[in-house]
Amino acid sequence: MRPLARRPLLLAAMAAPMLARAQEAEFPSRAVRVIVPFPAGGAADVLTRTLMDQLRPLWKQPVVVENMPGAGGNIGAQAAARAEPDGHTLFASPPGPLVINRFLYRQLPYDATKFVPVTVMAKVPNLVVAGPKLAARNVAELVAEARRRPGELTYASQGNGSTSHLTGAMFEALTGTRLIHVPYRGEAPALVDVVAGQVDLMFGNLTAALPQYQGNRLRILAVTDAQRASVIPEVPTAAEAGIANFISAAWFALATPPGTPAALAAQISAQAARALQVPALRARYAELGAEPVGQPPAATSAFFAEEADRWSNVIRFAQVTLD
């Protein structure tokens, strides 16, 4: 009788992977919801919508991009973390909610390490952006003015703890200056006030700032990357402008809620990678100053770990903490 007693357990063990494969084959079986934890119009939103435009016909299901800004991206992250882990809710985010915020906040309403990495959609260099009222015309003049007026120049960011905020802290540390940080709920509203001259400068990303730069509504003093950006080759790198080791780039990734089967995450990653090779998408990303990536989940997980190490060091050095 013992072999017969084991039979239900054996059948259950065999059925589980078969059921998982069936669920993966059926994905998506209904509308896909994509949570972006920042406002519409920013880089996270634009890059995500561009990718979803390519995935929608492939999936043959509606794809709804939902902007849920607030608390440095934590509100959207919390909603995504609580969603069913069946692939029909995706989380599209820059580094903050997925990597940085756990080093900034004393307590979070979600565990960022439990998200299942899918892929990095794109990487975008950050910039030193000057508003129309700032007298400085280059980085050397900006540093000189900031040293002459400590604690007076203001810089906008996407929000407390964002890469924009931390890039500003890195600038202060590398140049021995002191600026006033003005956080916003996303990059788009921050840029509005920079263009209007309400804030002196911003350490924002190329995707969001490029249209304003091309329209002569703001100036880009430097690219915080090892190489110049191909879409604005006339703008020097921070190192060329006189600040060594000033390297900061934004990235935008897809993740799924905790508990999502690894095979399903890999399936979505492969589909996203194919979409990121479509010439129309690549041309659109290039217009935005973004480099398509499309790496598999394992590489994305390793990248998250590298970024966590880098930004946690910046946070400790700058002594940035949030409640």
Smallest CA-to-CA distance from 249 within 288, 307, 174, 308 is with 307
96: which DSSP letter?
I
Model confidence pLDDT, tens digit, residues 55-103 = 999 999 999 999 999 888 999 999 999 999 999 999 999 999 999 999 9
Domains and CATH numbers, the chain: 31-124+250-318 (3.40.190.150), 127-249 (3.40.190.10)
pLDDT, residue 6, reads 55
Q: How confident is the model at residue 9 (pLDDT cuts 50, 70, 90)?
A: low
pTM: 0.80
Q: Which of 56-60, 205-209, 297-301 has the lowest mean pLDDT?
A: 205-209
113: which DSSP letter?
G
CA dist 41 → 12, 24, 48, 99, 185 (Å) = 48, 32, 11, 22, 12
Model confidence pLDDT, tens digit, residues 132-157 = 999 999 999 999 999 999 999 999 99
What mean pLDDT comes out for the span 32-47?
Answer: 93
| C-alpha to C-alpha distance for 246 and 238, rounded to whole angstroms | 6
* Torsion angle, alpha carbons of 19, 22, 26, 32, to 10: 40
pLDDT, residue 147, reads 97
Q: Is the pLDDT of residue 290 over 80?
A: yes
